Chains A and B, each alone.
Chain A
Amino acid sequence: MATQPILSVEGISLSFGGLKVLSEVSFQVNPGEIFAIIGPNGAGKTSILNCIGGFYRPSAGRIFFGGEDITRTSPDRRAARGLARTFQNIALFRGMTVLDNIKLGAHAHLRTGLLSALMYWGPAHREEMALRERVEHEVIDFLEIEPIRKQAVGSLAYGLQKRVELARALAMEPKVLLMDEPVAGMNAEETEDMARFVLDIKEERDVTIVLIEHDMNVIMDISDRVMVVNFGQKIAEGTPDEVQHHPEVIKAYLGEKKG
């Protein structure tokens, strides 16, 4: 038997008022793979990520993470279990430095409570120092953002902000990383860097990645499997090569041949 999927989405539907956003979408993501979701604008890709992350609650269907049903689990609990997320429109905490943003990612792994935080004595101090060391070695070195660690996030260039967002997600030590358009709006060099980081994360850290992207070159280069959605429905799934030649996919992207 094949390995158990780490993330399994079973027939989720979602509607806003009368608008049906997703209808019975199902897919499974295997541990250690890069799973891409593509589709035209408004197809419901981000809504799928929002359902997995817990920001939206699907009206039907179930979501399993590591074999456990998380359909009714709150977003913060899901994060604590190892589900991390980056956003299409950067959602960093703009009032903080890069370092603080990254440290925030580790929130669920820390224990300091309100009282010991006020004292900053013993355990709280040790925990902060251990965190700083871990974040420096495992995230800041890895993503090559040493020079900007003390800068305010708001003052950084767009491409760097995206990288900081990835850094924050990595500090969560996720099992599954959900990425919403990681290279959107980046130039060729930044795109290449980001693709390299995504591959490194998968290979060196055993993180499973689910990503949405419009850049077909990136998708075809790095993903193991691709799912195509259109109008809230899954229309194809397979290796990048299979999907590229799928008649439904060609129809969705290029329209039907006349006559």
Chain B
Amino acid sequence: MRMGDFKQTYAADEAVFRSGTVRFWLVVLLLALAAFPFMVGPYLLYMANLTGVAIIAAVGLNILTGAAGQISLGHAAFVGIGAYTSAILTTKLGLPFLVCLPLSGLSAAFFGIIVGAPSMRMKGLYLCIATLAAQVIFDFIFVHWTSVTGGIRGINVPSAELFGYKLDTEFKMYFVTIPIMIAAITAARNLFRTRVGRAFIAIRDRDISAELMGINLFQYKLYAFAASSFYAGVAGCLQVYLLRIVTPEHFPLHESIRYLAMIIVGGLGSVLGSIFGAIFMTMVPEALQSGLAMFQGMDDKLMSYLFPLQTVVFGLLIVAFLVFEPHGLAEMWRRVKNYFRLWPFEH
């Protein structure tokens, strides 16, 4: 227990950011996020935007898989549904960005509920295969329903417009992506303070006694699917406006697996873990690549061996996490925090 930090009301005790120190660092972090785009070039901003999108999608998957315990191999497909929804609404109907954004989330949530329906009868691996089927089916539709999705060539999308202001650079998109990301994180954190979030965790931990506590399992599993795919849909919409194009190549099965890897590396069931995991999975491959770029031009033969190696290194990192830190980066962060809590005094 932290000493000298006593609460007088239940509201203070239930707050997310419980002490002045924590709130101070939160403000510092927000200021740093606001100052970031003025200090770096377009490439880093592009990476920051992609990471923001990945965080939104990962937080969504962590609601479904980490908290409610329903493994999904179809998360990329829901991101895709959000992406195609906004691409189609923009190009065919000319709807503005601010309307497309919630509609992308809602359409993904709608399909999420349909895909989640088998969860009434199926659990664990069986449900996992059902979501895998959904991934394959949606992928097939993206490729083959050419008249709507544009087939493998995809759809080109004009840059987003917000109140008549064109969001045509990474710099401008940053100020849309990051606030939406913060809102998404806040909402997820709130969810876990209320009866709905608790019910999700109860279903994961012991579904039989959850039902005897008065939780309607089917209803809450569908809630989890809906919330999770809404997040995916919003992420998909942002991704379309970042890349200005949507093709089926953006949402293959291994993208779904990448999202799963994010929440496993970050920490299952933890909002903070989804953030860490998304940053890790987006940044580490880039870091590996730019690390290799230093060897560029030394020896062509050597390079041809080294480049495939980055995939191997990346895979090893994930395996190492599973073995040495199964609770993910969030747990590492908690330990570091605990160490410094009484620093420099040992306890």
Q: Mark A93-134, 1 if CB is under 8 A from B, else 0.
A: 111100010011111101011101111100011011100110
Partner-B contacts on A (CB < 8 A): 53-55, 74-77, 79-80, 85, 87, 91-96, 100, 103-108, 110, 112-114, 116-120, 124-125, 127-129, 132-133, 136, 150, 168, 172
A103, B198: Cβ atoms closer than 8 Å: yes
A120, B213: Cβ atoms closer than 8 Å: no
Complex Cα distance A256/B216, Å? 48
Complex Cα distance A103/B212, Å? 14
Q: For residue A117, which residues in chain B have a CB less than 8 angstroms away from its CB?
A: 190-191, 194-197
Known contacts A55-B212, A133-B10, A172-B214; is-contact A93 B196 (Cβ 8 Å): no
A118, B10: Cβ atoms closer than 8 Å: no
B196, A91: Cβ atoms closer than 8 Å: no
Give the nearest-CB partner of A118 in chain B. B187
Which of B135-143, B161-169, B201-209, B272-280 participates in binding chain A? Answer: B201-209
Give the nearest-CB partner of A111 in chain B. B195
Known contacts A114-B223, A114-B226; is-contact A96 B198 (Cβ 8 Å): yes
Q: Give, as a whole number of angstroms, the nearest-CB distance from B217 to chain A.
A: 7
Q: Give, as a whole number of angstroms, the nearest-CB distance from B287 to chain A.
A: 32
Give the nearest-CB partner of A80 in chain B. B214
Known contacts A104-B198, A112-B196; is-contact A79 B213 (Cβ 8 Å): yes
6 shortest A-B CB distances, which residue pairs? A108-B214, A79-B214, A120-B190, A93-B205, A91-B209, A117-B194
Q: What does DSSP make chain A's interface, helix, strand, loop or mixed?
A: helix
Complex Cα distance A118/B224, Å? 12
Q: For residue A108, which residues in chain B have a CB less than 8 angstroms away from its CB?
A: 213-214
Q: For residue B208, which residues in chain A have a CB less than 8 angstroms away from its CB?
A: 55, 91
B205, A128: Cβ atoms closer than 8 Å: no
Q: What does DSSP make chain B's interface, helix, strand, loop or mixed?
A: helix
Known contacts A118-B191, A120-B193, A128-B194; is-contact A172 B205 (Cβ 8 Å): no
Q: Give, as a whole number of angstroms, the nearest-CB distance from A172 to chain B.
A: 7
Partner-A contacts on B (CB < 8 A): 1, 10-11, 13-14, 187-188, 190-191, 193-199, 201-202, 204-206, 208-217, 223, 226-227, 269
A93, B202: Cβ atoms closer than 8 Å: yes
Q: Give, as a whole number of angstroms, the nearest-CB distance from A123 to chain B.
A: 11
- Which has the most chain B C-beta neighbours within 10 Å: A54, A76, A77, A124? A76
- 16 examples of A-B residue contacts, CB within 8 angstroms: A74-B216, A76-B213, A76-B214, A76-B215, A94-B205, A95-B269, A104-B195, A104-B199, A107-B198, A107-B202, A116-B194, A117-B190, A124-B194, A125-B11, A129-B10, A150-B1
Q: For residue B205, which residues in chain A have a CB less than 8 angstroms away from its CB?
A: 92-96
Complex Cα distance A132/B10, Å? 7
Known: A100-B198, A103-B198, A104-B199. 5 other contacts (CB 8 A): A85-B209, A92-B209, A107-B198, A114-B196, A129-B14
Complex Cα distance A132/B201, Å? 18
**Residue in contact with A104 in the complex, picked from B13, B14, B191, B213, CB distance below 8 Å:** B213
Q: Give, as a whole number of angstroms, the nearest-CB distance from A224 to chain B.
A: 25
Q: For residue B202, which residues in chain A have a CB less than 8 angstroms away from its CB?
A: 93, 96, 104, 107
- Which has the most chain B C-beta neighbours within 10 Å: A118, A129, A168? A118
Q: For residue A74, which residues in chain B have a CB less than 8 angstroms away from its CB?
A: 211, 216
Q: For residue A112, which residues in chain B have a CB less than 8 angstroms away from its CB?
A: 194-196
Complex Cα distance A54/B223, Å? 23
A93, B190: Cβ atoms closer than 8 Å: no
Complex Cα distance A129/B226, Å? 27
A76, B211: Cβ atoms closer than 8 Å: yes
Q: Give, as a whole number of angstroms, the nearest-CB distance from B78 to chain A.
A: 17
Complex Cα distance A92/B216, Å? 17
Q: Give, as a whole number of angstroms, the nearest-CB distance from A215 to chain B.
A: 23
Q: For residue A80, which residues in chain B have a CB less than 8 angstroms away from its CB?
A: 214
Complex Cα distance A127/B195, Å? 10
Q: For residue A129, which residues in chain B have a CB less than 8 angstroms away from its CB?
A: 10-11, 14
Q: For residue A95, which residues in chain B have a CB less than 8 angstroms away from its CB?
A: 201, 204-205, 269
B209, A110: Cβ atoms closer than 8 Å: no
Complex Cα distance A94/B209, Å? 12
Q: For residue A100, which residues in chain B have a CB less than 8 angstroms away from its CB?
A: 198, 201
Q: For residue A113, which residues in chain B have a CB less than 8 angstroms away from its CB?
A: 196
Q: For residue B211, which residues in chain A have a CB less than 8 angstroms away from its CB?
A: 55, 74-76, 79
Complex Cα distance A136/B9, Å? 12
Q: Give, as a whole number of angstroms, the nearest-CB distance from A21 to chain B.
A: 18
Give the nearest-CB partner of A168 in chain B. B213
Give the nearest-CB partner of B222 in chain A. A114
**Residue in contact with B212 in the complex, picked from A85, A93, A106, A150, CB distance below 8 Å:** A85
**Residue in contact with A93 in the complex, picked from B193, B201, B223, CB distance below 8 Å:** B201
Q: Give, as a whole number of angstroms, the nearest-CB distance from B167 to chain A.
A: 25
Q: For residue A107, which residues in chain B have a CB less than 8 angstroms away from its CB?
A: 195, 198-199, 202, 213-215
Q: Give, as a whole number of angstroms, the nearest-CB distance from A99 to chain B.
A: 9
Complex Cα distance A15/B208, Å? 20
A93, B206: Cβ atoms closer than 8 Å: yes
Q: For residue B10, which residues in chain A have a CB less than 8 angstroms away from its CB?
A: 129, 132-133, 136
Give the nearest-CB partner of B69 in chain A. A95
Complex Cα distance A133/B14, Å? 11
- Which has the most chain A C-beta neighbours within 10 Å: B188, B199, B201? B201
Q: Give, as a whole number of angstroms, the nearest-CB distance from B133 to chain A.
A: 26
Complex Cα distance A245/B11, Å? 56
Q: Give, as a whole number of angstroms, the nearest-CB distance from A141 to chain B.
A: 14
**Residue in contact with A120 in the complex, picked from B194, B204, B214, CB distance below 8 Å:** B194
